[in-house]
Structure 1
Amino acid sequence: PSWDRAQPCRFMSHNGEINTVRGNINWMTARQGVVESELFGDELAKLFPVVEPDCSDSGTFDNVLEFLLMTGRTLQESVMMMIPEAWQKHETMSETKRAFYEYHSAMMEPWDGPASIVFTDGKYIGAVLDRNGLRPSRYYLTHDDHVIMASEVGVLPVDPANVKSKGRLQPGRMFLVDFEQGRLIPDDELKQEFAGRRPYAEWLRNQRIEVKDLRPNKEPHGFDPETLLARMQAFGYTTETMQFMLLPLIREKRDPIGSMGNDSAIACLSDKPRMLYDYFKQLFAQVTNPAIDSIREEIIMSLECYIGPEKNLLETTEEHCHRLLMPHPILSNEELAAIKHMDHLGWRAKTIDITFDRADAKAGVMKTLDRICAEAEAAIDEGFSLIVLSDRHIGPQRVPVSTLLA
């Protein structure tokens, strides 16, 4: 805790945590390269970085919320973009609202995590709950026109006879008070209003690219039993990986079962050769939430993501959803081949070889990275929309650069 992280922030206050904050910051930083304005011109650079350094997750969220507000969007619309409902598998959601969320998912990723966020711009004051509903928010509306919201009931003394209505905020739902109209705006009413302002569904039909829409292109798998062992060793496969990880998946179609914990030496302290991937671990946010079952709570789970060039975040146009929708991050050989050879709605993919001659030793790594960057820049200048990094030329005399570096 420190004074510079004290709440409330400029537009919001927050109970909980944003678990995706590091990725959100990285993506907002990357988007600065395509943000441009005819009105501000070069002066726009004075707004960067959008996210101030050393902010808390609340301060970071507030920075981006303010930026979206300054683009001409309303407070409610900006919050809907940053904290969307679980819309992908919501069978009863209207098509209009679903199209709104899907369109904006192509523009920016959600800010996710157990969070109850209160926001205001002076004209409105409201609150929103994360899509999982992992933080409590309860409210009272009294006959003398007072609204009380807190994470628990009983924070203020309220005469039961004065209570007009009360309730709790539901996952992904928004609670909004309009000071000018002097009323509480229902979630469905305010979201349908914004969802119907533009033809999002039509834009998606015209511009969205899906893997299943690409022309099939079968490539030979290149399976060679004589080089199989050498290739597996090159990519770090072990007997344990084969026996306990892969075989249960293939034979029994189930996740492997194992005891918790890993007592092997971490990569930086190991005296054995280790893959570069072993030096990195997935961020894990342990919070006081119940376990989430991805089968029984499927409605809030999704692996979908959009890839490809992004557009200017200061605008809202049909071309903003002209991106490739991936159902999940794992591709089959046929899907990868279709992407590599795609020529669809103006999209093409460029394949870049990331292997080098083993005789070049350590110097070959830096030379190869420079070559990859140069080829990627040239591909962008030539109008390619996607870049595929390939290590398939690996062999006795060809060594791959780790894809983490590339």
Structure 2
Amino acid sequence: LKGAENWMTSHGIEIYDETDSDSAKLENCMEYLYRHGRSIPQALMMMVPEAWGEGTEMSDEQRAFDEYNATFMAPWDGPAALCFTDGIQVGAFLDRNGLRPSRYTLMKNNQLVVASESGVVDVDPGDIVEKGILAPAEMLLVDTSTGRISKTRDLKRACAEAHPYQQWLNANRLTLGELPDAKSDESMPIDSLKKLWLRNGYTHEVIQTALLPMAQNGGEPVIAMGFDSPLAVLSKKSQSLFTYFKQSFAQVTNPPIDPLREKVVIGTFGFLGRDGDCTRDTAENCHKLKIDSPILSDQEYAKILNLDLPMLQVAKLSLAYDLTDTPDRLAHVLKDLFTQAENAIDGGATILVLSDRPVADNQMTIPVLLAVSGLHNYLVRQSKGTAASIVVDTAEACEIHHFACLVGYGAAAIHPYGVFLTLKERGLEAQLPDYCQAATKGIIKIMSRMGISTTAGYQGAQLFEAVGLADSLIDQYFTGTPTRIGGINLNQLEDEYYQKYQRAFSNHAIDDLPSGGSFQYKADG
């Protein structure tokens, strides 16, 4: 639920207390929507939507209702059997995966029993009128003033037909396929590409063992079960910021899901742009650009850069900075970046593109994860976290874990241009779509371990633990991330990246990539 909780906070809606349980936070969100005019069934359908992808069976009106809500409402994802009442209406509702049992029994005396198991209340079988089990995303509602029982399809039909949602989507929601083609035939001389590899920490092993197989096979390679590399903070070699973060896994009452067998509930789509008002339905709420995956191809990224519409304005922000002798240099650079982003939003930008493309050889670039998370948390503190989407144009991110970190800390989409240039140099340009597919599968696998079925629910959830970063760095740029082991601060982190920069541009620059050693033992790894 962390992603949905952070989404509400991004809107400047302060309805949570740090001591609240997940159930209390969900209840507070539902009550907020209810007190702003939503009915309880509609509020719950907005918060806990059923799977509405192309493979699901539902009417066009109901699909449009769910897609409309998805343009401005983050889903509360995870297993849940919910019971609710406003004093007159009382009902039960199940999550989209149906991972919690919820059985009901209706008796001749007009009593309705809903519980996690049958037999909670002794009932004469002859008195039973109807009994059953709630299916995924199914609702049962009783109006005690009339004695009427309503079920999911009737309730959802009433909500779906309240407004012309499909017309609103057709008039306001764009897809990448509807945008004009844009030039995307990017290439780079091999000498420049080697410098790009060196300054971003690429190794022969990463290219040969991770990148190439993903493009060739359309899936992640199977390498090994164990991982015996030292913690990044203890390593003698300079490390990427990504290696300081460890993925969280579902435990106890929050089970992981199988992304293959439960593919019908998986959703990788997303929407770029400013979020609308969750308290009222208007056509303007869905002024968004729909993307099918958080991994963007060259062509898709070029289309986004060329956007110039009243409600979809793009601002490109460079992560490159000069190597001055200013004390606390990186902190000042980050502050300037956040100010630029906020000014761009105030000027009408609804999509912020963060690019780590170096402008000159004498410039370093902000670690892309630091820039994304720092900006996301800064905008949340300014109550502007949903005013614009963050798109990342990066060479540093080149592994599945990197992509998951970027999405988990607020990025809506990623264009891994460094990977694409590498694959083109190896003659695999035709396999770029296969790489994008493999990267998307990898993100799905990681988020499903936490029981999350949509990238929208994973975005901004920060479901990682930091190991080896100072509390001051975490509090400022990765706010809310748990950490049990302290370590390097911002200046020391910059020093690690400066070491990689020197490999490419110092007087002692090397011509070849390091061999690696992350996946198997290397003498120089």
State the TM-score, normalized to the length of structure 2: 0.67
Higher relative contact order (CA 8 A, sep 6+): 2
- The SS at the match of 1:81 is helix
1:215 matched to 2:195: no
Mean CA deviation greater in 344-353 or 145-154:
344-353
Give the structure 2 partner of residue 232 of structure 1: 197
2: distance between equivalents of 1:362 and 1:164?
76
Change (3 A) 1:216 1:361: farther
Question: Could you report, residue by residue, the CA deviation over 1:289-321 in whole angstroms, capped at 9, with x for unpaired residues?
Answer: 887443443211110111211223332211001
1: distance between equivalents of 2:235 and 2:365?
22
Give the structure 1 partner of residue 305 of structure 2: 340
Selected match of 2:291 from 308, 318, 326: 326
Shift of 1:361: 7.1
Structure 2 contact 168–283 (Cα < 8 Å) conserved? yes
- The SS at the match of 1:109 is coil
1: distance between equivalents of 2:182 and 2:53?
29
Shift of 1:25: 1.5
- The SS at the match of 2:328 is helix
Q: Residue type of the partner of 2:337?
A: I
Give the structure 2 partner of residue 397 of structure 1: 362
Give the structure 1 partner of residue 229 of structure 2: 264
Unaligned runs of 5+ in 2: 372-525
1: distance between equivalents of 2:260 and 2:197?
32
- The SS at the match of 1:281 is strand
Mean CA deviation greater in 55-64 or 246-255:
246-255
Change (3 A) 1:292 1:315: closer
2: distance between equivalents of 1:261 and 1:199?
53
Change (3 A) 1:284 1:362: farther
Give the structure 1 partner of residue 334 of structure 2: 369
Mean CA deviation greater in 88-97 or 280-289:
280-289
1:309 matched to 2:274: yes
Structure 1 contact 52–63 (Cα < 8 Å) conserved? no
Structure 2 contact 102–133 (Cα < 8 Å) conserved? yes
- The SS at the match of 2:8 is helix
Structure 1 contact 357–364 (Cα < 8 Å) conserved? no
Shift of 1:368: 1.8
Question: Could you report, residue by residue, the CA deviation over 1:107-161 in whole angstroms, capped at 9, with x for unpaired residues?
Answer: 2111011111111111111111111111111111111111111111111111111
Q: How many residues matched?
A: 371
Structure 2 contact 51–265 (Cα < 8 Å) conserved? yes
Structure 1 contact 394–400 (Cα < 8 Å) conserved? no
1:294 matched to 2:259: yes
Selected match of 1:254 from 195, 215, 219: 219
Structure 2 contact 273–312 (Cα < 8 Å) conserved? no
Give the structure 2 partner of residue 29 of structure 1: 9
Q: What percentage of aligned pairs have identical amino acids?
A: 39
2: distance between equivalents of 1:25 and 1:290?
19
Unaligned runs of 5+ in 1: 1-20, 33-47
Q: Residue type of the partner of 1:92?
A: E
Shift of 1:357: 1.6
- The SS at the match of 1:177 is strand
Structure 2 contact 78–254 (Cα < 8 Å) conserved? no
Mean CA deviation greater in 336-345 or 189-198:
336-345
Structure 1 contact 356–364 (Cα < 8 Å) conserved? no
Shift of 1:403: 2.1
1:134 matched to 2:114: no
Structure 1 contact 351–388 (Cα < 8 Å) conserved? yes
Shift of 1:288: 6.4
Change (3 A) 1:58 1:346: closer
Structure 1 contact 359–397 (Cα < 8 Å) conserved? no
Cα-Cα RMSD: 2.0
Give the structure 1 partner of residue 249 of structure 2: 284
1: distance between equivalents of 2:63 and 2:348?
31
Change (3 A) 1:376 1:176: same
Give the structure 2 partner of residue 149 of structure 1: 114
Structure 1 contact 305–328 (Cα < 8 Å) conserved? yes
2: distance between equivalents of 1:288 and 1:241?
36
State the TM-score, normalized to the length of structure 1: 0.86
1: distance between equivalents of 2:217 and 2:63?
36
- The SS at the match of 2:54 is coil
